[in-house]
Structure 1
């Protein structure tokens, strides 16, 4: 299919124009016009780019792309090497950040909820990205941690009373601990995100609300993979998701 057709479809599907983001969403580096093979991954790292070259991919689709607000705008060093590899091999780079977090079916939060059998009951936070929900039955904080470890293949950091029962859950993938205080005001029993800071350990303990750091990368694998599978099925293109190990 044509690059312009795929880009237009994804921009509309993810409602890109609705979001105020920290980076450009959509086509970040332009390559060849015909798209037959797509590689997806969480971050457009050099390793992912090299894997795409080896796979003779036409397009790379990621959650974490380039040109973030506040970064050095000069195309030098690491940025130059990455972009040069894309241009030399005529490979397109598409990146979707907050729009991919928020999509009601294919988004990172929706997909993480599916993986962990959460039943969504609402949204909250800036641009309604974070999710509220519950499990089909009450379990302890420790049992929830065991479930997360089994599903994500990563041991989570658990703050709080591990024997406490979990009824109401809030979650937001990646680096979303800024939503923790709002989650507390919404009377949840636990907030799950990708990574946390020292200060929120004290907030968790003093407010009596559980806090789980399940991994930035680990919580954000599922949205871009689901998106790749979706376009492969819809348009008949080849798709491969590459999960580059990242302990954070």
Structure 2
């Protein structure tokens, strides 16, 4: 498949121009014109670039790419090492950040809901990046934490409110990654618990004072499934070889 045809298709599918983002979405580094073998992953770290090279891939498809707004612009040190490895082996880098969080089918939020059995009722926040809905059945906080741990393969951090841990919950809001800033807006949706990848200091107090627990399930852990779903779609639609490589990240 031609690189330009693939990037046009992905831009259209993910509606990438709709989002005001912190980085460029789509093709970030140009490699080979013909795409046959894609390695996908969460973040375009040097370890993932090396994995793509070892597997003979021509394209790297990620959620966290490069060229973030406000970061150092000089290509030195680790930035040089990453870019040099990619260019030396003529590998494309394609990245989608917010478009891959918010997509209704392939997005991280959609895939979290599917994996954990939550039904979707609506969205909230700037650019509708937060989601809310219902748990599959009345669930205690301890039961929900156990379910999240099983689904994501790691124990989450749970900041409990003053509510009884045995009180059954029905409605949940969530946003993958570092969506600490959406917590107050999530509470306004009338939910009983909020889940994101990370938590900030001030949100510990908000969880305790609002009565709405906060589950911090891991930035990396909550954002592994969107890029996998997108890559699986490309395999089914175009017959491309796609491999997901999970570079361990405890955060």
List per-residue Cα deviations over 1:45-95 (Å, max 9, x = no partner). Answer: 011000000111010000000000110011111111100100000000000
Where do residues 181-200 of structure 1 align in structure 2 (5 Å cutoff)?
181-200=184-203
* Residue aligning to 1:148: 148
List per-residue Cα deviations over 1:132-191 (Å, max 9, x = no partner). Answer: 100221110110000000111100011114323211100000000111000111111000
The SS at the match of 2:69 is coil
* Residue aligning to 2:27: 27
Matched, 1:74 2:74: yes
Distance 1:4 1:37 in 2: 15
Distance 2:57 2:222 in 1: 25
Matched, 1:167 2:177: no
Distance 2:206 2:155 in 1: 22
Distance 1:32 1:170 in 2: 41
Matched, 1:6 2:6: yes
**RMSD of aligned residue pairs (Cα, Å):** 0.7
The SS at the match of 1:154 is coil
Distance 1:15 1:129 in 2: 14
Distance 1:39 1:75 in 2: 24
Structure 1 residues 161-170 or 192-201, which shifts more? Answer: 161-170
The SS at the match of 1:200 is helix
The SS at the match of 1:32 is coil
Aligned counterpart for 2:208 among listed residues 186, 205, 208: 205
Distance 1:178 1:126 in 2: 11
Q: Which stretches of structure 1, 4 residues or more, deviate above 4 A after TM superposition?
A: none
Matched, 1:225 2:199: no
Matched, 1:124 2:124: yes
Distance 2:106 2:235 in 1: 14
Distance 1:221 1:31 in 2: 24
- Structure 2's unaligned 5+ residue stretches are none
List per-residue Cα deviations over 1:199-225 (Å, max 9, x = no partner). Answer: 101100001001000000000000001
TM-score after normalising by structure 2? 0.98
Q: What is the total number of aligned residue pairs between the two structures?
A: 248
